[in-house]
Each structure stands twice: as C-alpha cells, then as structure tokens.
A and B are shown apart, each in its own frame.
Chain A
Amino acid sequence: MPRKIVERPQPIEYLSILDWTGKVDRKLEPDIPEETLKTIYRAMLFCRLFDERTLQLQRQGRIGTFAPIKGQEAAQVAAVVQLKPTDWFIPSFRETAAQIYRGLTPQDVWLFYAGYNEGVRVPDDKHDLPLCVPVASQCQHAVGIAYASKYKGTDEVTMVFHGDGATSEGDFHEAMNFAGVYQLPVIFVCQNNQWAISIPRERQTRSKTIAQKAIAYGFGGIQVDGNDPLAVYVAAREAIERARSESMPTLIECVTYRLGVHTTADDPKRYRRDEEVKEWEKKDPIPRFEKYLKAKGVMTDEDFAGLREEIRDELKRAWKETEAKIREFEAGSPDVIFDHIYAVEPPELAEQRAYFLERIKREGRPDA
C-alpha cells in the first residue's frame, strides 16, 4: 500500500514579449508581417475610440447600459486576428474589440445598446455568436460547436472568451472538462481583468494562476501579459495550431486590466483605489504598441494622428447611419419583437401579436 506522488505539479508558463516601456525581447519577438501589425493596431485604436464615443452616447442618454472595453484591446484583437472567418468566435459581453474585428459594425453594436433586437442579428455566413450575459454559459456552447466541427471533419477552431469571474462558475469547469474528455479544438481565452464587478481576482480563486486550471482537465494552460499584443498573438498562434492539427484545447489567461467601469451602471470608486488604476494606465496596450511600431519603423506619429482622424470620421458617419436606422425602426411596426420566437408562430402567440398591434393603434406607444 504505497503512499507516493502520482503526478508532479506542472509549471505554468508566463509569456511577455513587449513590456510597457516599449522594450522588446528580441529572442521571443514573433515575425508578424507589417500589414498584420498595422491591422492589429488599427483594430485596437478603433475600439478605444469607439469605446469613448459609446460612453459619450450613453452619458447623453442615447443608448443604454454597456460594458466598456478600455484596456483590454490587445488581449482581444491579438487573440482573434489569426482566426479564419470560418473559425468560431464566441464572446462574453466585453469583447466588443474582437467582435468588431470579426466584422460586427459599430452600427450593430449601438443598435443593440440602444435597445433594438435587430442589433444582434448574425449574418448567415458568420461563425460568430452574439454577446452572452449569463456568466460562463457560453463556454459550453463552444464545446458543442467544437464537437460538431470534429464530428463533421472540418478543420474549424472555436475560440471562446470569458472573464476571471467566469472561472468560479460551474459552467466553466464543465466546459473545460468536456473539452478535455473529448479532445476538442477549442481555445478558452480568459480576460483576467482583475475585477469581477467589485470582487478582486484574489477573492475569485485561491489558485495562483487561472491558467493552471487547465492542467486539472488534461490540457495546457498559459498565462500571458494581456496588454502585450505580441505575447497574446504568440499564445493564440500556438493554441490555434494545437487545436487545428492536434484537436486539443488550450486555456490562455490574459493578465489585463479593466481601466473603466464594469458597466455604465457601476461605480468602481466604491471598491478600488485610484492608485491601482493609475498603475495600470502605465501598462496601457495602445501607447505601448505605438512605441513598438514607431521603433520598428512601421508607423510614424503622423500615421497615428492621421489614423485617429480617419477613425473619428468613420465613427461620426456610423452614428449618423445608426440614427437613420433607429428612425427607420421607429417608423416600422414594433411587432418585430414577436418575430423568431418559433419557426412557425403558434395560434396563441398570433392572437397576442394581433392584440398588441390593435392596442398600439388605439393608444399609441406608451413610451412615445
């Protein structure tokens, strides 16, 4: 009857390539084509400016509550940039940068946040899911999608995003367990932004890293500097390769920070110190990446300024289009809310739709 060591604790790798001062580890620096570097930068900047504009719109009362992304642009964009359009992308509710990179328009995002169901339509050719509010539940959808990809013999990879809070939910663990048991081509990308609303990372789990949770389920986990686009890019590249060629899952923990509020209904001053935010502002992924691109000769200060202007103009146009769309929706019949509940509307629901329309005709809109 021995008492022995069954398995030695496995070390967890931490990856950082570009530090916040702009210094690069040349040995680890990936060979990324210039065009891709520019694409990543543009997508990150686009979402930073989009986020600022969305906050203004919310404060002006033109849209409702939303979850800002400020600070997490690198962890999102650099993770999805190597996915193919046919790969599956599954966000939680703070992956707007990745969603827009994948092809969602600012108009769609704004229409959703302005309260129109039409904003979450997913085009037929897209392998992207809409945002998911019940925490961690989307991890299991990723597992089912990946199972179907493997069953059908496609080489599709599924990448699912979740936060550090999600790792406390049963759904996260069930999904990780299924992914390990069935050896599925799925990548879990944890946006460890240090706070699950008011609960800090230390109160979420006693584990030293989130990445190590993968070991319990029989596959690999890696922790990366989530504000370093190069590190995220490399970790995602390795995970995608492992998923596509070996049909094995990976958990990538992006250590990042939510610089803003949890949602616009939240006041972080109640639970976190300004000094902490200031410390993390120094690690902001955008100025860091600018330093890198400049030093590498890929972009100049003029390029950055020009791009800012270009994006601001694009966002202006996009809001105008959103407003036009809102006017169009308002002029249309609001019984679109009855659409798509069932493939064929049951008689009881058809009666309710008719009653709904009749009341509106008689009373007008109560919120008008």
Chain B
Amino acid sequence: MPELTMVEALNLALKEKLAEDDRVVILGQDVGVDGGIFRVTLGLIEEFGPERVIDTPLAEAGIIGMAIGMCMNGLIPLPEMQFSGFSYTAFHQIENHVARYRWRTRGRFPMPMVIRMPYGAGVRAFELHSESREAYWAHTPGLKVVIPSTPRKARALLRAAIEDPDPVVFYEPKAIYRAFREEVPEEPETLPIGKAEVVREGSDITLMAYGAMMPRTLQAADMLAEEGVSAEVIDLMTVSPMDDETITASAKKTGRVVVVHEACRSFGPAAEIIARLNDKVFFHLEAPVARVTGYDMPPPFFAREQLFLPTPQRIADEARATLAL
C-alpha cells in the first residue's frame, strides 16, 4: 500500500473516478495544465484531455453555474474553487440553484456535483485565504458538507461524494494537505457520507472534531491519557447531514463532551451539536457541553494565526474543566 499525502490521495480519487465514468468532468481555474494551485489535479489533463479537465476563465459564479447546466444535461461535474474564500462570488449559484434544483423541480434535475474547496488557517497564507465557513453550507438545505481528516479518508470520502446523487461541498483542510502521509489501499474504497467515526474509544469524556482539527484533538487525547483520562474521539467527517446516532451514543456513554472546530464560535457547528445533545441526551450529561473554537473574527494575518486556532493544550484544558464539574 502506498503512503500518500492528502493531496495525492485526492488526486488518486479524482483519477479513479475520471477513469471509471466518462460523465465525470473537472472544471476550474488552473485545474488543467497547472494541475491546480495545490496540485490536486496534477497530471489529469494529460490523461483525460482538456474536454474533461477544463481550464476555465476566472469566474467562480460561471464555474458553478456551468456545473449546474452540466448536471442538468447528464454530466457529473467536479468544480474546484481555488480557496473557499473565493466561493462567495458563487454563493448565489450554490444557494439558489445547486442546493435547491432537485427540490424545485420535484426530482427532475438533481445536482450530483462535488464542489471542492480548500479551507482553513495554518499555512501562512494571505488574508482571505484562511477562513473556515462550513456553517454557511451546512445551514443550506439540499447540500451535504464533507470534511476529511486523513489521506485515506480523503480518498474514500471524495469517491463517495462523487457517487452521491446530491451536491456535496467537499471542504479540504489545506493545513494538513501535506502534513503527513498515510497508507492508502490500492483497491478503491469508499466511506459512507453522513457517518461519523469513533476513531478512539474512551470512557471519561468525548472529544468531537473534524478536518484539520483532528490531529490536534488526538494530541489532546494523548495528553489526557498521560493523566489517566480516557477520552473517546469522534471524527465527524460529514458535518451535514450530521450523524446524530454516533454523537449521541458517545455522549450517553461518557456524559461529558467537548466539541472542537476552527470555525468562528457563534452559530458554528459546535453550537448545533450542543443543541442536538440537549434535545436528545440532556439527562445523560454530567456537565455542560464545552466548545473549543476559533474566535468571532476574521482569521488574523499569519504572524498571529496560530493564536487563533485551537491548540492541543486549549482542547485538553477545556476537557479538564469539563471533567472537574
């Protein structure tokens, strides 16, 4: 089994799906000859040609709008936004059309597309390249939001997202694009969309996270383990629709929960998780559910961006405070 980075694993999934199904096309700025600005689509134009790996003019709304028409006429487009921050010029196409077309036409025009976009802070990027706004997409009925946390999961989830009949916003944690390698099976594999995974079993407290916050959350769990605390760790993987079954089962089991994300605190995914735990397992909780998140501000310029991001220390401290209650 080859050891791949997340970028290489994503490239593998795209390559496999292009080879398996000629309805699949990739479109975006620089996705062809240049191989994408993060090189996720490297080499694909050489193998599949410019009609299927389409270098587009610089126009996010145009890219998403064109992908909508492609869906209507039988293709499975995979539009790429170079940075999630650039997707806002296509926001109206995603909100008004991608998310609603199946509903609006009573099933006649589903939108089986995957909108890939790198998100998040931690790579010393320019301002406007570091935010984590999954809540926008998760708040929109009709979309699914998938965020992988390892190379193997990235490949399996991207394959599943492409096979999914509904539109998926595939949020790629660029901070861990090349941070580590992982063995990825040669045989194609998929992971179900909409399912979370208990990545580490524990009994004292549950830590929930996703994407680029997973390695930090696992480090926090290690720190707690050294103190004799058994932390269960859940990787959400699909932010919307959320896997209530897995998160409530774990909360019931441990009675204490900390939710971690780098997105802004207010109205973020953690707030939604806390609301659901209140609805479903309130009487099993031993303490209020805590959240460790980014602050309600634009991600700061890069000299101070690590101060903005949740650290393993912060996560462990929040867990200790929750355990003390």
Q: Are B106 and A177 in contact, CB atoms less than 8 angstroms apart? A: no
CA distance A367 to B210 in the complex (A): 43
Q: Are A140 and B106 in contact, CB atoms less than 8 angstroms apart? A: no
Known contacts A342-B142, A343-B165, A347-B245; is-contact A149 B56 (Cβ 8 Å): no
- Residue B284 interfacial (CB < 8 Å): no
Q: Which residues of B contact A137 (CB under 8 A)?
A: 61, 65, 92-93, 96-97
Q: Are A151 and B51 in contact, CB atoms less than 8 angstroms apart? A: yes
Q: Are A178 and B61 in contact, CB atoms less than 8 angstroms apart? A: no
Q: Are A130 and B166 in contact, CB atoms less than 8 angstroms apart? A: no
Q: Are A178 and B73 in contact, CB atoms less than 8 angstroms apart? A: no
Q: Are B57 and A177 in contact, CB atoms less than 8 angstroms apart? A: yes
CA distance A158 to B66 in the complex (A): 13
Known contacts A151-B51, A339-B106; is-contact A346 B65 (Cβ 8 Å): no
Q: Are A140 and B102 in contact, CB atoms less than 8 angstroms apart? A: no
A85-102 CB mask vs B (1 if < 8 Å, else 0) is 000100000000000000
CA distance A151 to B50 in the complex (A): 11
- Residue B70 interfacial (CB < 8 Å): yes
Q: Are B69 and A349 in contact, CB atoms less than 8 angstroms apart? A: no
Q: Are A341 and B62 in contact, CB atoms less than 8 angstroms apart? A: no
Q: Are A342 and B59 in contact, CB atoms less than 8 angstroms apart? A: no
Q: Which residues of B contact A123 (CB under 8 A)?
A: 108
Q: Are B241 and A147 in contact, CB atoms less than 8 angstroms apart? A: no
Q: Are A343 and B102 in contact, CB atoms less than 8 angstroms apart? A: yes
Q: Are B62 and A342 in contact, CB atoms less than 8 angstroms apart? A: no
Known contacts A174-B61, A341-B141, A346-B194; is-contact A124 B108 (Cβ 8 Å): yes
- Residue B77 interfacial (CB < 8 Å): yes
Q: Are B74 and A343 in contact, CB atoms less than 8 angstroms apart? A: no
Q: Which residues of A contact B77 (CB under 8 A)?
A: 144
- Residue B204 interfacial (CB < 8 Å): no
Q: Are A177 and B59 in contact, CB atoms less than 8 angstroms apart? A: yes
A164 to chain B, nearest CB (A): 20
Known contacts A137-B97, A140-B62; is-contact A148 B74 (Cβ 8 Å): yes
Q: Are B72 and A140 in contact, CB atoms less than 8 angstroms apart? A: no
CA distance A343 to B144 in the complex (A): 11
CA distance A152 to B194 in the complex (A): 33
CA distance A342 to B67 in the complex (A): 18
- Residue B228 interfacial (CB < 8 Å): no
CA distance A362 to B62 in the complex (A): 47
Q: Are A347 and B104 in contact, CB atoms less than 8 angstroms apart? A: no
- Residue A37 interfacial (CB < 8 Å): no
A172-191 CB mask vs B (1 if < 8 Å, else 0) is 00110110010000000000
A230 to chain B, nearest CB (A): 31
A268 to chain B, nearest CB (A): 27
**Contact among B69, B107, B108, B166 for A141, CB-based, below 8 A:** B69
Q: Are A178 and B57 in contact, CB atoms less than 8 angstroms apart? A: yes
Q: Are B166 and A342 in contact, CB atoms less than 8 angstroms apart? A: yes
Which of chain A's residues 319-368 have a Cβ closer than 8 Å to chain B? 339-343, 346-349
Q: Are B72 and A145 in contact, CB atoms less than 8 angstroms apart? A: yes
CA distance A283 to B73 in the complex (A): 39
From A114-122, A192-200, A205-213, A289-297, the one touching the partner chain is A114-122
Q: Are A141 and B104 in contact, CB atoms less than 8 angstroms apart? A: no
Q: Which residues of B contact A171 (CB under 8 A)?
A: 61-62, 65, 93
Q: Nearest residue in B to A158 (C-beta to C-beta)?
A: B69
Which of chain B's residues 56-87 have a Cβ closer than 8 Å to chain A? 56-57, 59, 61-62, 64-75, 77
Q: Which residues of A contact B93 (CB under 8 A)?
A: 137, 140, 171
CA distance A88 to B56 in the complex (A): 23
CA distance A343 to B73 in the complex (A): 18
- Residue A134 interfacial (CB < 8 Å): yes
Q: Are A151 and B75 in contact, CB atoms less than 8 angstroms apart? A: yes
CA distance A152 to B51 in the complex (A): 11
Q: Which residues of A contact B67 (CB under 8 A)?
A: 144
- Residue A30 interfacial (CB < 8 Å): no
Q: Please list 29 pairs of residues, one from A and one from B, whose beta carbons are closer than 8 Å in the complex, sorted by A's number.
A: A117-B106, A120-B104, A123-B108, A124-B108, A137-B97, A140-B62, A140-B65, A140-B69, A141-B65, A141-B69, A141-B72, A141-B97, A143-B62, A144-B67, A144-B72, A144-B73, A145-B73, A147-B66, A151-B51, A170-B89, A171-B65, A177-B59, A339-B103, A339-B106, A342-B166, A346-B241, A347-B241, A348-B242, A349-B241
Query: Assuming A142-B69, A341-B142, A347-B241, what are 13 further A-B pairs, CB within 8 angstroms?
Result: A117-B103, A120-B106, A130-B105, A137-B61, A144-B71, A149-B73, A151-B51, A174-B61, A178-B62, A340-B103, A340-B107, A341-B102, A347-B245
